[in-house]
Chains A and B, each alone.
Chain A
């Protein structure tokens, strides 16, 4: 039973060509996050939503945008991908499940920029 779903799992795009990654959740959690993770590095938070309130990290480039049309869905838009944006993009949710506040990650989307 997938709880945090990301599509696609693998995305190939060309340098400068806009790309959108999607995330959906069945947990009804009110917080959703987008992380960027490069090889052998810790996940780096890009931004998060608390309900509809958008919170951008100070060092997230303007090239990265996000939309959350409803509780279940969240999108990551990369307006002009550069070679340095090739990474795994992880979506996560946060909420109280089984009495414990936890963060759950989706399977990730691996982005390749040619």
Chain B
């Protein structure tokens, strides 16, 4: 079966660092995506990993270990506007592959 797990909610302090974990078990794998979604808005693409290792993009970094079926999204220097839901999604095949989404992690950033 297809399964994506991530924590339901997390709380962090402005200026701090937070790591959101995602584990997956899927029949196929061709990349893992992280999206940010503010309430009532569409998901916004943050990062994409298809090879093992760390991808850094400004304050956001994403890590992938394919052998462990594990990824994390690291957010540094947290800002209040980072309060949102963070969705982990796995693409299951190379072309036209659909994304299998996790339930999302609701991150609350407090002053």
Contact = CB atoms under 8 A, between A and B. Distances in A.
Q: Is the interface of B mostly helix, strand, loop or mixed?
A: loop
23 contacts: A31-B95, A31-B96, A42-B102, A42-B104, A43-B43, A50-B95, A50-B96, A88-B40, A88-B42, A90-B42, A90-B43, A94-B96, A101-B30, A101-B91, A102-B33, A103-B89, A103-B91, A103-B99, A105-B42, A105-B44, A105-B45, A107-B42, A108-B41
Interface of A: 30-31, 33, 40-43, 45, 48, 50, 55, 88, 90, 94, 100-108, 110
Given A31-B96, A42-B87, A50-B95, A102 B44 contact: no
Given A42-B87, A42-B103, A105 B95 contact: no
Contacts of A33: 98-99
